[in-house]
Amino acid sequence: MSWSSCGSSSVYSLSSSILVANDPSSKLSKRRFTPNISQPGWKQRRDSSHNNGGVSKVFGYYGLKSPPYKLDALEPYMSQRTLEVHWGVHHRGYVEALNKQLEKNDIFYGCTMDELIKVLYNNGNPFPEFNDAAQVWNHDFFWESMQPGGGDMPTLGLLQQIEKDFGSFANFKEKFTEAALTLFGSGWVWLVLKREAKSLAIVKTSNSINPLVWNDIPITSLDMWEHAYYLDYRNDKAKYVNTFMNHLVSWNAAAVRIVRAQAFVNLGEPKIPVA
Amino acid sequence: MALRNLLIRKTLATPPLGILGFRSLKTFSLPDLPYDYGALEPAISGEIMQLHHQKHHQTYITNYNKALEQLDDAMSKGDASTIVKLQSAIKFNGGGHVNHSIFWKNLAPVREGGGEPPKGSLGWAIDNNFGSLEALIQEMNAEGAALQGSGWVWLGADKELKHLVVESTENQDPLVTKGPSLIPLLGIDVWEHAYYLQYKNVRPDYLKNIWKVMNWKYASDVYDKECPES
């Protein structure tokens, strides 16, 4: 898949907007954001990164998505302070770095985030933008993988699939915890649905790599970079992982993801009792 | 002959591989810091030093000893695949022990000479290789800030090519993994645990401040010993 074939018609509308922003004679380029643009047909995107005043060439293509809960909602398991720094500084930093890199090199415009990550990964020889793009995606996914009042157990189809692929939920939990604790350095632990094998698996990745690069479908994840737990747990990784499994992981989110995944992966017929 | 039989610990169920006679397993222990935990303030906080030394370094040593024990066991059983499987744990935990042991020595409180620029042959070598001490510091800081994930930045001396290098290694890989003739003179730990509590994600600030407690005397001593009359 060549990287120039990212997206479709969105590329064209985007490049027309880029032309507007770069054209010094255009009145629009002097303004940061004007909601009521009188000229019909011009689409101006919101500039989500800081403006340097005057001609704005920065094109805020990706924005920082808020977690689906307030920053103090995960207390006492993940402190507000951690969310403030992890989301507000780290995650935001990745978004801004990505936008800055993309503005220099618009061949990657027009991709969805999923496509962008695969394209930037370049089959194991990643472009420099890969790290930021992947970390933006990873953190979006991570916030959504947690919820206040999380933990407990999955139910229905997801539980059945876990029991099918791991024997029991307890065994899955043990394997997931073990994977998290034996990861060397920075990285992530994932529960993925493997497309080819049509089964769930636990995967460890280093730094910013995620299972999208192997075309697998992530179901839930755990951030094992030290910045994710250091403020709350210092070096006590085991406590952090156990707290995640018992109080933070959102099986609701995981259930939604595996349901969606079944549009792409055939997990077999459900057992419908014969009348 | 009788003495040899006496020295062999395991039974001769499998024939000993050549000269694998007597070998007692030496375990490693946490070296003491040559200064108090709070002595490097305000460049590195006492809390970080304590956690870093007592928890992180100790964990590497504990796991290193465990891996070595398992290796010893596998070697005497002739279990080839386990021997290979243990290599990554040994590289990681052993590297962690080696690297941190160097790290404690290449830091020093200001009142004991921390931050004082190098003189003598190392000073000359730095000027020859990098132009100036400032240029070296800038290069190391840039390399450290750019490192993705966890790792180390090193000032190393190449014994064979007789010059200084700036290298970075990932995770706990020791400098020697980048070149067998490389000797570490100074290492900066850029794992998040080394600075997070104090600097959060602002790694460049940590890198800027750590030079204030850098023990150039240690680096000079190592350099003089390993690369004499350069």
Residue in B closest to A132 by C-alpha: B148
CB contact under 8 A, A184 and B192: no
Q: Which of A89, A184, A206 sits opposite B200 (nearest CB)?
A: A89
Half-sphere exposure at residue A217, Cβ-oriented, CA atoms within 13 angstroms: 22
Instruction: Return the minimum-mean-pLDDT range out of A32-41, A124-133, B107-116.
Output: A32-41
| Residue B97 annotated as lining a ligand binding site | no
pLDDT tier at A267 (50, 70, 90 boundaries)?
A: confident
In angstroms, what separates the C-alpha of A39 from chain B's closest C-alpha? Answer: 43
Number of alpha carbons in the 13 Å side-chain half-sphere of residue B163: 9
B193 annotated to bind ligand: yes
Handedness of CA A256, A262, A264, A267 (dihedral sign): positive
**pLDDT value, residue B228:** 80
- Residue A194's DSSP bridge partners are A199
* Bridge pairing between strands A217-223 and A199-206: unpaired
State whether A235 and B59 contact (CB < 8 Å): yes
**φ, ψ at B186 (rounded to 5°):** -140, 140
Res A59: pLDDT: 57
Output the DSSP codes for A18-45.
HHHHH-TTSGGGG-S--SS--STT----
The two structure tokens encoding residue A24: 């010094």
pTM over 0.90: no
Alpha helices, H only, chain B: 2-7, 46-50, 58-77, 80-85, 87-105, 120-130, 133-146, 196-199, 203-210, 216-226
Q: From residue B156, give the alpha-carbon distance in Å to each of A183, B34, B90, B117.
A: 28, 22, 23, 17
Work out the pLDDT band at A96, boundaries 50, 70, 90. very high
Which candidate, A135, A130, A107, A132, places its Cα nearest to that of A2?
A107
More confident residue, B105 or A27: B105
pLDDT tens for each residue of A149-182? 999 999 988 999 999 999 999 999 999 999 999 9
Percent of chain A residues topping a pLDDT of 90: 66
Give yes or no for residue A25 having a pLDDT over 50.
no
Instruction: Mark the ranges of chain B whose per-residue pLDDT is less than 50.
Output: 6-21, 230
**Nearest-by-Cβ selection for B92 from A184, A207, A234:** A184
Q: Do A93 and B201 touch (CB under 8 A)?
A: yes
Once rounded to an integer, what is the mean pLDDT over residues A81-92?
A: 96
DSSP-assigned beta bridge partners for residue B97: none
Alpha-carbon distance A134 to A48, whole Å?
19
Indicate which of A120, A224, A225, A234 best probes the interface with B, i.e. most B CBs within 10 Å of its own CB: A234
For residue B18, what pLDDT is reported?
Answer: 43
* Chain-centroid distance, C-alpha A186: 17
* Close Cβ partners of B12 (under 8 Å, ≥ 6 residues apart): none
Rounded Cα gap, residues B191 and B144, in angstroms = 10
List the one residue out of B206, B139, B190 whose CA is nearest residue A186.
B190
Q: Scanning the structure block, which residue is given the tokens 């419908």?
A: A272
The dihedral built from the CA positions of residue A256, A257, A260 and A262, taken in this order, carries a sign that is: negative
Q: Give the minimum alpha-carbon distance from B222 to chain A in angstroms, rounded to a whole number.
A: 28
Helix (H) or strand (E) run with residue B153 in it: strand B151-158
pLDDT band at A2 (very low <50, low <70, confident <90, very high): very low
Q: Is B55 in CB contact (< 8 Å) with chain A?
A: yes
d(CA A158, CA A253): 11
> Strands B163-170 and B151-158, how do they pair?
antiparallel
Bigger pLDDT: A205 vs A49: A205
Per-residue pLDDT band for A14 (boundaries 50, 70, 90) equals very low
How many residues can be counted in chain B?
Answer: 230
Helices B133-146 and B203-210: crossing angle in degrees, nearest 10, is: 150
A227 contacts B201? CB cut-off 8 A: yes
Amino acid occupying residue A117: I
pLDDT at position A110: 73
pLDDT (average), residues A214-218: 95
B196/A227 Cβ within 8 A: yes
CA distance B188 to B190: 6
Largest separation between any pair of C-alpha atoms in chain B: 64
Q: Chain A 54-93, CB below 8 Å of chain B: which residues?
A: 85, 89-90, 93
